[in-house]
Chain A
Amino acid sequence: MATEAKLSHTAAMILQAIDAGLIYGFSIMEMTGLPSGTVYPAMRRLERDKLICSRWERQSIADTEQRPARKYYKLTATGTVALKASRNRYPLLERMIPYVEEKAL
Chain B
Amino acid sequence: MTPYSQLVFHAIDLGLLRCASFLAPEAQRAEWRLEWESELWHARRSNSTSGAVSWRTEREIANFCFGAFQDAACLRRLWWQNQARFVPLHGSAAQCIFCLSGILFVSYLISILSPGIRAERDFSSTQIRPGTILIQEEGANGDSVPTMAIDQVQIWKRGRQRYVDGFAFYRVARESATIGPHAGGTWQIAQASSNLFAVAGLTLHYMESNEEARSGMPRLILSERIWREKFGANPDIVGRVLLVGSRPARIAGIAPGDAWRLPGNSEAWLLRPDSEISPDGRGYVVAHLTRSGRSEMWGGIVNIASYDSRRSEHDFLGKSLEEQTPGPGNIYWFGVLLAFLALPAIASVSLAECSFSSHKPSWIRRAVRLGFLVMKVVLVMLITYFSSVDLAYWHSSVSSPSGVYVQLVTTFAIFLFGMRWALLDQRQRCPVCLRRVTNPAQVGLASRTFLAWSGTELICADGHTLLHIPGLPTSWFSTQRWLYLDTSWGFLFAGSGAG
Contact of B69 with A by CB under 8 A: yes
Minimum CB distance partner of B43 in chain A: A26
In angstroms, Cα B34 to Cα A68, docked, is 9
| Pair A68/B74 contact, Cβ less than 8 Å | no
Contact of B58 with A by CB under 8 A: no
Contact A26-B46, Cβ < 8 Å, known A41-B74, A48-B78, A68-B37: yes
In angstroms, Cα B76 to Cα A48, docked, is 13
A24: min CB distance to chain B, Å: 7
Q: Which of these, B39, B70, B71, B73, contacts A26 with CB under 8 Å?
A: B39
Would you call the interface of chain A mostly helix, strand, loop, or mixed? helix
| Pair B67/A30 contact, Cβ less than 8 Å | no
Number of interface residues of B (CB under 8 A): 23
Minimum CB distance partner of B37 in chain A: A68
| Pair B63/A30 contact, Cβ less than 8 Å | no
Number of interface residues of A (CB under 8 A): 20
| Pair B39/A45 contact, Cβ less than 8 Å | no
Contact A45-B74, Cβ < 8 Å, known A37-B66, A37-B67: yes
| Pair B71/A44 contact, Cβ less than 8 Å | yes
Minimum CB distance partner of A42 in chain B: B74
| Pair A30/B38 contact, Cβ less than 8 Å | no
| Pair B67/A67 contact, Cβ less than 8 Å | no
Contact A70-B71, Cβ < 8 Å, known A35-B63, A36-B63, A45-B78: no
Contact of A69 with B by CB under 8 A: yes
Chain A positions within 8 Å of B65 at CB level: 36
| Pair A36/B35 contact, Cβ less than 8 Å | no
| Contact mask for chain A residues 24-58; partner B; CB cutoff 8 A; 1 contact, 0 none | 11100110000111111100110010000000000
Chain B positions within 8 Å of A70 at CB level: 38-39, 42
B66: min CB distance to chain A, Å: 7
| Pair A68/B71 contact, Cβ less than 8 Å | no
Contact of B460 with A by CB under 8 A: no
Chain B positions within 8 Å of A35 at CB level: 63-64, 67
In angstroms, Cα B34 to Cα A71, docked, is 9
A89: min CB distance to chain B, Å: 24
| Pair B74/A44 contact, Cβ less than 8 Å | yes
Contact of B68 with A by CB under 8 A: yes
Q: Which of these, B41, B43, B67, B75, contacts A44 with CB under 8 Å?
A: B75
| Pair A68/B69 contact, Cβ less than 8 Å | no
A42: min CB distance to chain B, Å: 9
| Pair A68/B41 contact, Cβ less than 8 Å | yes
B19: min CB distance to chain A, Å: 15
Chain A positions within 8 Å of B38 at CB level: 67-71
| Pair A67/B41 contact, Cβ less than 8 Å | yes
In angstroms, Cα B41 to Cα A39, docked, is 17
Minimum CB distance partner of B42 in chain A: A26
In chain B, residues 59-87, which have Cβ atoms closer than 8 Å to a Cβ of chain A? 63-71, 73-75, 78
A75: min CB distance to chain B, Å: 19
B67: min CB distance to chain A, Å: 3
In angstroms, Cα B185 to Cα A92, docked, is 97
| Pair A36/B75 contact, Cβ less than 8 Å | no
Chain A positions within 8 Å of B68 at CB level: 36, 40
| Pair A71/B46 contact, Cβ less than 8 Å | no
Counting chain B CB atoms within 10 Å of each CB, the highest count among A30, A35, A36 belongs to A36
| Pair A41/B71 contact, Cβ less than 8 Å | yes
Minimum CB distance partner of A34 in chain B: B67
In angstroms, Cα B74 to Cα A25, docked, is 15
In angstroms, Cα B45 to Cα A68, docked, is 12
In angstroms, Cα B70 to Cα A36, docked, is 9
B63: min CB distance to chain A, Å: 7
Counting chain A CB atoms within 10 Å of each CB, the highest count among B42, B46, B65, B66 belongs to B42
In angstroms, Cα B67 to Cα A36, docked, is 5
Chain B positions within 8 Å of A40 at CB level: 67-68, 70-71, 74
Q: Which of these, B37, B42, B70, contacts A37 with CB under 8 Å?
A: B70
In angstroms, Cα B69 to Cα A55, docked, is 22
Chain B positions within 8 Å of A29 at CB level: 64
Chain A positions within 8 Å of B37 at CB level: 68
| Pair A44/B78 contact, Cβ less than 8 Å | yes
Chain B positions within 8 Å of A30 at CB level: 46
In angstroms, Cα B41 to Cα A45, docked, is 24
In angstroms, Cα B248 to Cα A92, docked, is 109
In angstroms, Cα B69 to Cα A67, docked, is 24
**A-B residue pairs in contact (CB < 8 Å), sample of 26:** A24-B42, A26-B43, A26-B46, A35-B63, A35-B67, A36-B64, A36-B70, A36-B71, A37-B66, A37-B69, A37-B70, A37-B71, A40-B70, A41-B70, A41-B73, A44-B71, A44-B74, A67-B38, A67-B41, A67-B42, A68-B34, A68-B41, A69-B38, A70-B39, A71-B35, A71-B38
Nearest 8 interchain pairs by C-beta: A36-B67, A37-B67, A41-B74, A37-B70, A40-B71, A68-B38, A71-B35, A36-B64
